[in-house]
Amino acid sequence: MKKILIYEYITGGGLIGKKFDHSLLSEANLIIDSLISKTDSIVNFFCDYRYKYKNNKNAILITANNHSIIYDTDMINSYDYFLPICPESDLILYNYIKEINPYVDNMKFSSPKTILVTSDKLLLKDICNRYNISHADSYISKSKQSLYIIKDRFGCGCNNVRVTSNKNLEIPANRIIEKYIPGDSYSVNLYISDTGYEILTINQQIINRYNNVLKLDAINVNIYPYFRNSLFKFIEAILVALPGLKGFIGLDLIYNKEGIFLVDINPRYTTSMSAISKCKDRHILDYINISKNEQTGSSCKIKLQV
């Protein structure tokens, strides 16, 4: 029986010394619930002493006095597999992986260099341009009044994303402006091993605009869009451009009649992955053990707080 250790930043001690409150807390709850639910593995997890699972028998309590344990690589390496889940915002994920990466040998994770590229929207844009991957800059609007997106340069998902029609706004260095791409929003969940990749699910994101602020309201997990077959070539182009991608990966996409456009790459376990066990007869952690044939499964919806 495999022993697995989970570090989810928000619930696992990343907020020690701060208020236990975060815009991504509801999504973090979904993620932890999916990972510690019934599984054939022994799953321990770092747990903020204020979190609801503080009395769980598999919780490793994190307080101000022992906060450094999340960097204890000897302890981390005592497990068969280590799964860190941190947001890309403010380079939190990059800084954590950069710190532990030279000393941890039991995690299947993207390289620090790759995480930096996927966390920094400007670096990712440069990679897309270099490898001819369709993204916001390559979209040509036919509308008389084009719209633009303003978002964090080192952001995470739909957090702090605004729509504007004024492309001449002064934007601070930690924000970027890019073209708004009309179309349907999707995410693709992958597990990338040393020998290839598997599409775990394709999901439709329900994103709405509230006073020009974009919010992710829900996710329809494990759907089968008609453009599914064209995804493979798109994914393979991304893997050529970023060969350092490994483990659980999420791609955020826009699809319209002009094709597929890359929005973001999440080099980590994502919220939509938390529903895979409900959609398929397989626990999400099974994907780290052995390669199995793809299962069709059913669809389900994740409702998110707005």
Contact 5/79 with Cβ under 8 angstroms? yes
Angle at 82 between CA 220 and CA 29, to 5 degrees: 40
Whole-angstrom distance, CA of residue 216 vs CA of residue 160: 11
- What fold is seen in the domain 3-107? Rossmann fold (3.40.50)
The beta strand positions in 101-165, using DSSP E, are 148-152, 162-164
Residue ranges of the chain that CATH labels 3.40.50.11770: 3-107
User: pTM for this one?
Assistant: 0.92
- pLDDT tens-digit profile of 125-181? 999 999 999 999 899 877 777 899 999 999 887 778 999 999 888 999 999 999 999
Q: What is the pLDDT of residue 291?
A: 54
Residues of the chain scoring pLDDT < 50 = 306
pLDDT value of position 295:
60
- Tell the burial category of 119 from Cβ atoms under 10 Å away from its Cβ (0-12, 13-18, 19+): buried
3-state helix, strand, coil in the chain (%, to 5): 30, 30, 40
Of 160, 138, 143, nearest in space to 87 by CA: 160
pLDDT at 246: 97
Q: Which of 125, 68, 124, 100 is nearest to 267 (CA)?
A: 124
Specify the pLDDT at position 281.
80
pLDDT at site 306: 46
What residue ranges in 211-268 does DSSP mark as E strands?
213-221, 247-256, 259-266
Single-letter residue type at 219: I
Q: What is the pLDDT of residues 37-51, one digit of tens each?
A: 888 889 999 999 999
Q: Give the integer Cα–Cα distance in Å for 55 and 49.
A: 9
Tokens, residue 82 = 């280590």
Instruction: State both tokens at 208.
Output: 């709405």
3 state DSSP class of 56: coil
Assign domain 118-138+184-207+216-303 to its CATH superfamily: ATP-grasp fold, B domain (3.30.470.20)
Whether 178 and 136 have beta carbons less than 8 Å apart is answered as yes
Nearest to residue 182, comparing CAs of 158, 216, 207, 200?
207
268: amino acid identity, one letter: R
- Residue 69 and residue 252: Cα distance in Å, rounded? 33
Pair of tokens at residue 19: 């208020």
For residue 24, what pLDDT is reported?
A: 85
